[in-house]
A and B are shown apart, each in its own frame.
Chain A
Amino acid sequence: MSAMPLATAGRTPELLVPGTPLAILEARESHPLACRWLGRIAFADALALQEQLVAARRAGHSEDTLLLLEHDPVYTTGRGGHAENLAGLGTDEGAAVVRIGRGGDVTYHGPGQLVGYALLDLRARGGDVHRFLRELEAGVIETLAALGVTARGWPGRTGVWVADPVVNPEEMDELHMRQGRVRKIASIGIGVRGGVSMHGFALNLSMDLAPFAAIVPCGLQGVHMTTVARETGRPAPALEAAAALAARHVGGVLARGLRVVPS
């Protein structure tokens, strides 16, 4: 769990990105994707790093990067988020609320959750933001499969979901969600700044879900959150091990792109 700055293997060794390199994946059109494990890091520090990397990426001073990390407890909300979805938060929750430039409503990050920030030059990838969201979903779904959890996307409800076997995936509906028969295991939200993406996904590995109860996660009234540990009934692997899987799978999808984009 080294926070030691290490040089990336990119073309510009003068830019130092902290963390442990997990993988460097050769992407289509030869844009390498560097995946790094940062360990536990405060939200503000990670945000500053993201901003720095986005700026560098835009200026051509760094390559596409996938940062994998874990946050101290924090609530974040997208700019389009609704205040009422935070209404359950007392003043003494102990976790900060940060309004940030990503899509989506309020969510919670904390220990036991694997966060992935994808800092990619979307312009080099055709610039289709929905496609990028689908790629993130697909990568997280692959990662979950490697962790023994069958998960899926839900058209119109970006994120990654786990459904009870009785639920027909074609017919997941609001009621299933409220009844907890379809549960959210990973949240997704991105920002695009001058063609470069930031933010990404948050996958619940093994964490206390109580902080979600104080908010309306993603603005979805009645949504049930879940974790890998809950779904498998076993302790989840260590965060760093899960990060290595995410580097391989999310990184892999981002590097090769989705062959078929689900409509």
Chain B
Amino acid sequence: MADVTMPKLSDTMEEGKILRWLKQAGDQVAVGDLLVEVETDKADMEVEASAAGVLREVKLGEGESAAVGAVIAVIDGAGGDAKPATKTAGAAAKTEDVPAKQQAAGKESAKAQEKRSAPKEASGAKAGADEGRSAKERQVARPEAEAEPEPEDPAVPAAKPRPTSRPAAPRAASPARGAGGVKASPLARALADELGVDLRSVRGTGPAGRITRHDVEQAAGGAKHGSPKPAPASGHANAARPDTKDDVKDARPESADGDAKTPAPRDDATPASTPTEAASGVRRAPLSKMRASIARRMAESKREAPHFYLTTVVDMDEAVGLRAQLKALEVSRAGVTYNHMVLKAVADALVEHPEVNARFAGDAIEILAEINLGIATAVDDGLIVPVLAGADRLSLLEIAEQARALADKAEGGRFTSADLSGATFSVSNLGMFDVDSFSAVINPPQAAILAVGSVKQRPVVRAGTLAVRFTMALTLSCDHRVVDGARGGRFLAEVKRRLESPASLLLPREAGA
């Protein structure tokens, strides 16, 4: 019995995709027979069997991928009592200078293959099958190829696969190994593996006692800073990118707690991290990863996206009242803030005005189905934008709780990639700094950002007389390539309307005003 494993066809190959099986379960397989076509990167490789017998089991279907070294099929050597065909194939394979024999052997296999391949697939594979058996050299010096089948040998051209950094099986097995019945997030498990933390000794603080990454870091104690993959702290700007290619990179903007001042361990290593006193009296503070990222993305935004700004003043008297009532009722442990109300109003208004929940894509405007709100959040060395995903489906109280949880995470620097990616619209609030109003820079590739000022009593004219009301200024920055003034204005008016009639924020969406 020989396991056929995903071959390593390149030093840089980590996984491969099965394109098609050239043998099916139950087929006789000879050493050197074309067994399967594997795709890695942009290469489509025929892979030969290096064991003979009956293909007992095909573990990976066409179109499925597996890590290098993972078992993709099993060849049962017992069934493979060296049929003549096998011998012929082997012999032909070895002696390249016997083309006649080779052709004969080839035809058989080509025929067999034709039966299975879709008629349309007129391709090089057939020609490949013709001569496939000669392709022996790659099989790392196997002079005994035509001798007895070697059930132990995996059908891999390269050396026997050692467990690689991402072996499929061990990973799959790890929940079990992770100690009987321990509940932990995949991230936490991976981290525990890396830091050598026994999950059984960790107390989980997640939902239902689930162990989170943070718990593992805590348990690892000083290992906090040793967060194994130093985080390029490009969190902020990339945070807002819906494309999540570099999520992992962005996932930990500032490593663990207390790291905020000196973002990533890697930065710590550079003397650059500390401002240096130059002779001229200029203090140079070299950019942290986060600062560099902010600099790049914000400059890109101002350079590429033509901004315009719309400001409106919202009468917040009713909202102040609602907040007081909710507080008195103690309906939410988290407490509902004005910003939560703004988030809710924005989410609902985006449902009504999907053209604002969009992005510029070169030759098209893409309207996004998901409404994911980025919440610009200050941290010590800059800001990050955690994301409230699916905000349109959340009630005000759910928004309050989730936004609070995100803020807590921001403080602790404990973000997962999901927390920072995919925002479609952002809200930035500087009200707590007593900023009356301001204009924010759009976070590319989003089309707009709402800047929220402080809520306080101000003189206003109501019904022809001067009155004192709670007001709040909202300034919408729009990318003119996506949103025109009228559209932006309608959207902003909708946000204002909802905040001025805050009961609408409590209604389920279908009933929403």
Contacts and interface: CB of A to CB of B under 8 A. Distances in A.
A58 interface: yes
Interface string A21-55: 00000000000000000000000000100111011
B132 interface: yes
A101 B17 CA distance: 14
A103 B11 contact: no
A195 B138 contact: yes
Given A59-B99, A131-B10, A180-B362, A100 B124 contact: yes
B42 A103 contact: yes
B124 A166 contact: no
Nearest to B127: A51
A123 B135 contact: yes
B135 A158 contact: no
B361 A179 contact: yes
A189 B40 CA distance: 10
B96 A59 contact: yes
B131 interface: yes
A180 B39 contact: no
Nearest to A167: B300
A195 B39 contact: no
A158 B42 contact: yes
Interface string B288-308: 000000001000100100000
A71 interface: no
B125 A128 contact: no
A60 B136 CA distance: 13
B11 A193 contact: no
Contact of B444 (A98, A132, A175): A175
Given A99-B120, A131-B11, A173-B246, A58 B135 contact: yes
A179 B43 contact: no
Contacts, number: 173
A79 B44 contact: yes
A130 B12 contact: yes
B445 interface: yes
A135 to B, nearest CB: 12
A59 B124 contact: no
A263 interface: yes
Contact of B245 (A59, A128, A130, A174): A174
A184 interface: no
A133 B43 contact: yes
B277 interface: no
A173 B99 CA distance: 50
A179 B132 contact: no
Interface size class of B (residues with CB under 8 A): 35 or more
B291 to A, nearest CB: 15
B123 interface: yes
A158 B10 contact: no
Contact of B123 (A99, A131, A196): A99
B44 A192 contact: yes
B132 A130 contact: no
Contacts of B17: 80
A196 B45 CA distance: 10
A194 B185 CA distance: 44
Contact of A54 (B41, B127, B241): B127
Interface in B323-351: none
Most buried by A among B48, B131, B132, B241: B131
A6 interface: no
A50 B12 CA distance: 27
Contacts of A98: 122
A191 B44 contact: yes
B10 A191 contact: no
B22 to A, nearest CB: 11
A198 interface: yes
A68 interface: no
Q: In the A-B complex, list the 7 residue pairs whose CB atoms are closest, starting with the nearest.
A: A193-B128, A194-B135, A130-B10, A51-B127, A180-B362, A174-B243, A179-B362
Given A103-B40, A159-B42, 9 more contacts: A54-B131, A59-B96, A80-B44, A102-B124, A123-B138, A133-B42, A193-B132, A194-B133, A195-B138
28 contacts: A47-B124, A50-B124, A52-B127, A54-B131, A55-B131, A78-B44, A79-B20, A80-B17, A80-B63, A99-B120, A101-B123, A101-B128, A102-B44, A104-B42, A123-B135, A129-B41, A130-B13, A173-B245, A175-B444, A179-B360, A179-B361, A179-B445, A190-B43, A192-B45, A194-B133, A222-B361, A222-B362, A263-B12
Interface of A: 47, 50-52, 54-55, 58-60, 78-80, 98-104, 122-123, 127-133, 158-159, 166, 168, 171, 173-175, 178-181, 188-196, 198-199, 222, 224, 263
